[in-house]
Amino acid sequence: MTSKNTRVALVTGGSRGIGRATVLRLAQDGFDVAFCYQSNEEAARQLEKEAGGFGVRVLARRVDVRDMASVQSLVAETEDVLGPVDAAVTAAGITRDNALLLMKDEEWSQVLDVNLDGVYNLCRSVVFSMMKRRTGAIVNVSSVAGVYGNAGQTNYSASKAGIIGFSRALAKEVGRYGIRANVVAPGFIDTDMTSVLSDSVKEKALETIPLKRLGRADEVADLIAYLVSDRAAYVTGSVMQIDGGITV
Ligand code: NAP
């Protein structure tokens, strides 16, 4: 039986990659964890079992972060089943890379809808409850592309830069309610998202990464776990890069 002191986390895009590693890490840290995913039911069920192995409650739901009503229902169900959300992490994200000249309107809007509207939808849905309880930690996953821009990714870079502006504004808005909002900006992390890149793109990236390797999802999850923990009680409005030094 879970004690009522157990903290509750909600992670979007939890079925794979950085979101998955975050679900596992937060479960290991003793959070009851709800997560959503878009399509990969099998990965979600497997993760539900794996995270449950840490003795916490896990709730997995297929919810498209683009849809505000569905995200609101996910938050309501999480609060009903697990309790009020203490930590919200937005890891759901996609790429649809193209040069601007060749970009299709749907490539632009899909990326903005998932990456930026998805963040708005989750934060908008959890913030009132956090304000009432005068506590809460939000971590939104951006990218170094959102800080510096990346050729061939105007859509992705715009969405990730948007997350930074959004999160800093939110940190200023809700700090007085005891709510912290921070951003994690990863560089090249070894997940399905980067596995589609060509070997030559990866080799080029490796040349410019001082640590000479891609990052791991669990390394990003560690940073997220720190930011939602009390160890980061005085950290808000920050953008923490985790990129092996690629931007130095
Ligand atoms: P990934 O392995 O491709 O996983 C993406 C996750 O997002 C999956 O769980 C996927 O669910 C979910 N998702 C996608 N669209 C969704 C939607 N509309 N509604 C709900 N869930 C959705 O990606 P990743 O590499 O872990 O990336 C995680 C986050 O880190 C993203 O925001 C990404 O932009 C950011 N990031 C990644 C890197 C990198 O190098 N990997 C670098 C910088 C930033 P399904 O599996 O069910 O579709």
At 41-84, the pLDDT tens digits run 999 999 999 999 999 999 999 999 999 999 999 999 999 999 99
Q: Which residues are catalytic?
A: 156
Question: Going by CA atoms, what residue is nearest to atom 32 of ligand 1?
Answer: 93
At 189-216, the pLDDT tens digits run 999 999 998 999 899 999 999 999 999 9
Q: Is 66 annotated as a binding residue?
A: no
| pLDDT reported for residue 3 | 47
Specify the ligand 1 atom closest to the Cα of 189.
40
| Residue 6 pLDDT greater than 50, yes or no | yes
Question: Is the pTM here over 0.85, yes or no?
Answer: yes
Q: Are 89 and 136 in contact (CB under 8 A)?
A: no
Q: Is 149 annotated as a binding residue?
A: no
| pLDDT reported for residue 2 | 44
At 115-146, the pLDDT tens digits run 999 999 999 999 999 999 999 999 999 999 99
| pLDDT reported for residue 4 | 58
Q: Is 104 annotated as a binding residue?
A: no
Specify the ligand 1 atom closest to the Cα of 38.
47
| Residue 5 pLDDT greater than 80, yes or no | no
Q: What is the mean pLDDT of the chain?
A: 97
Alpha-carbon distance 29 to 54, whole Å?
A: 9
For residue 66 and ligand 1, the question of a CB distance below 6 A is answered with yes
